[in-house]
Structure 1
Amino acid sequence: MTIRSRRETVTFKHPFRIRGIERVLPAGAYEVVTDEETIEGLTFSAYRRIATMITVPGETGRGTTEMLSIGSIDLANAQAADASMVHD
């Protein structure tokens, strides 16, 4: 079984929450890493998501970061909520 990782940057224009993270995160750009594994036995290449993680500022501040596991649907919901907010 082969595992690949995809990295992308997502940007939030407003402070936001993601289910599973107990604090409000500040607006800004965040790195999201998605791990996928191959689905064996098919005649074509296909992958399924096995993990989604986001890098966030550490709770203590001081330039620390944490990589936290999140649900891909929770990320999509947070992005949709951010996009639907009235822009200043």
Structure 2
Amino acid sequence: MHTRTRHSIVSFHYPFSLSGVDGVQPAGEYSIAEDDEIIEGLSWIAWQRTAAFIYLPLPKHGSSSQQMVPIDYAELNAALELDRERVAAGAD
């Protein structure tokens, strides 16, 4: 089975929280990794996301030490949308 990992950066203007992630995370940029696998048996190439992860700083270890935490990608998108709405509304 063919797999791939895609990396991206997301930006939050406001603190946010996700289930499975301890506490509220501060605003900032966060690295995201998405694992995909190819869907077999189709006449064209298609990929299906199988996992998503966010990289968070390890408490008390400085900004260079990170932990990779599994997340629900739909929940991440909802948190990003809420952040965009707050920016558009000029929320403090």
Q: Under a length normalisation based on structure 1, what TM-score does the superposition of the two structures give? A: 0.91
Residue 60 of structure 2 aligns with an amino acid whose one-letter code is T
Q: Which residue of 1 aligns with 2:37?
A: 37
1:55 Cα offset (Å): 0.5
Residue 59 of structure 1 aligns with an amino acid whose one-letter code is P
Q: Which residue of 2 aligns with 1:84?
A: 85
Q: Which residue of 1 aligns with 2:11?
A: 11
Question: How many residues are treated as equivalent by the alignment?
Answer: 88
Residue 37 of structure 2 aligns with an amino acid whose one-letter code is E
Superposition misfits of 4+ residues, deviation over 4 angstroms:
none
Identity of aligned residues (%): 34
Q: Could you tell which deviates more after superposition, 34-43 or 61-70?
A: 61-70
Note the aligned Cα RMSD (angstroms).
1.2
- Which consecutive residues of structure 2, in runs of 5 or more, have no partner in the other structure? none
**1:21-77 CA-partner distances (Å, limit 9, x unpaired):** 121111111110101000001110011100100111112242321110001011011
